[in-house]
Every structure is written in structure tokens, then in C-alpha cells.
Amino acid sequence: MTYCLGIITRDGIVMAADSRTNAGVDHISRYKKLFDFSCPGERVILVCTAGNLSMTQGAINEMHKDLKAGADVNLHTLSAMSDVARYIGSKIRHMAELDGPWLKKDGIEGKCSMILGGQIKGQDPELFLIYSQGNCIQAAAETPFLQIGETKYGKPILDRVMTFEASLDAAAKCALLSIDSTMKSNISVGPPINLVMYSRDSFAIKHRLLLRLGDPYLAQMRKLWEDSLKQAFDRIPDINWQYNLETDAVEKMIID
């Protein structure tokens, strides 16, 4: 399992991914899941992957091959981010057609998904989620984040904090907290964490981090967040256990 997310704001895009993959409690490996296909000065293309590792690696390798061979259709020739999303979807479908029947024969789950984020010169930054079937959806101002993998533990903070108007620095902190919350609750998600922040219209990645196990910033962030949550919890008033009894009494008087 893995956890990746992308956040889009008025000022740009933040994308983050863990690096842990599992094939059982005694077989844990680390693989890169955040890829940079940018052409500096012209376009920024970032891709996060989750799901069956052989399928995602196969699709990523196909994209690299098209770029190296100078294929007529590749990540650097398509004129719109939506076309890039469709192109990536076609690579996922190709791998499914190639390997899917053999995986299914042995009862192996062959599904995967990807997040695409970036900007092509002359257009706005965009963020897409690409499903295993090859189709996709796009993030919007009303829903400025997309997740793949083990999404449930990291979603609450995104729901409560993240807006399209947030600063990129706030989006980056929120992304890390979302991943840390997931790591706290699910052993299948773990460091190193790749984090990228892209500023709108810069057409270059100037901010990227690789945060390893025991990183001082991650440790500080987790402690501050846990302390803050405990303080907020302690400030919540105790439950009024008489509330229902009092309400029931009033309702009974009204009925009588």
C-alpha cells in the first residue's frame, strides 16, 4: 500500500508521496512514487503512482521510452494537460492489457492509479487523478486536492484545512501532516517522503524535499501536531449526560 496526494491552489501545486510498498508484514520495500517529467521553461509534469508496482513501473517506463525515442505523441508534445492525462491513462490500459490476464490468473490485483499535476506554458496549472481504467477526473477550486492509495487517514485534515486560496507553504505543511497522520495509523505507509512544491508560471521545480525516517522536521511536526490536538481535546467541554434526560422531560411535558 502507499499514499500519495496532490494539492492545487491559486499559486501553484504541491505533490507528495511516501516510498513504502508491502507484500506482507515481513516483506517491506521502498520505491520512488513521485516522478518529474518536466521540460524546464516550457512545461512542468509531475506524476505520483499507487497500486500494483509492476503496472505503475511498466507505465512509467513506457512514458520514458516515448520521450527517449522522440515519439510523435509523448509527455512533451501534447498541447493540453487533459491530453497528457489521457495519454498516461492509455499507458495504464496498455499495461493492463499486456499483464492483466496473467495477474488475474494467479489472483493478483493488477489495479493502479496516478495523480498528474503541472502546467503547460500559456495555460493554468491543473491536477488530475487517473484511474486504473485510464479515465480521469480533475481537481477544482471547490475540491483542491486528490489522493490515491491509503487515503482515509490523511483526508480529515485536508477536508478541514485545505482551500484553493491557501498559500503554497500552507499546502505543503498540510500535505506532510496528511502523510504523517496516515503513517501514524497505517504501517503500510512510510518514509522516505518525497515532497514537491511548484509555483505557478515558474515552469521549473525550485522546491523539493526527500524526508527520511527520523528526519528532525518530521519529528518536530508530529510532536507539535499531537500536542496541539491534545490541547484542543482538553478544551472541549465534558459531555452533559443529563442533556437527553432533560430534553425527554421537556418533550414529554409538551406531549402531555
Distance set, CA 165 to CA 7, 82, 139, 155, 169 (Å): 11, 23, 14, 18, 12
Helices and strands counted in the chain (H then E): 6, 12
Span 3-255 CATH architecture: 4-Layer Sandwich (3.60)
pLDDT reported for residue 26 = 54
pLDDT reported for residue 27 = 53
pLDDT, tens digit, for every residue of 83-130?
999 999 999 999 999 988 888 888 888 899 999 999 999 999 999 999
pLDDT, tens digit, for every residue of 55-66?
999 999 999 999
Residue 23 pLDDT greater than 50, yes or no: no
- Sequence ranges of the domains in the chain: 3-255
pLDDT reported for residue 249 = 55
Backbone CA torsion sign across 157, 158, 160, 162: positive
DSSP string, 24-56: STT-EEE---EEE--BTTTEEEEEEEEE-HHHH
Distance from CA of residue 145 to its chain's centroid? 8
pLDDT reported for residue 243 = 65
Residue 139's closest CA among 61, 82, 64, 184? 82
Q: pTM for the whole thing?
A: 0.89
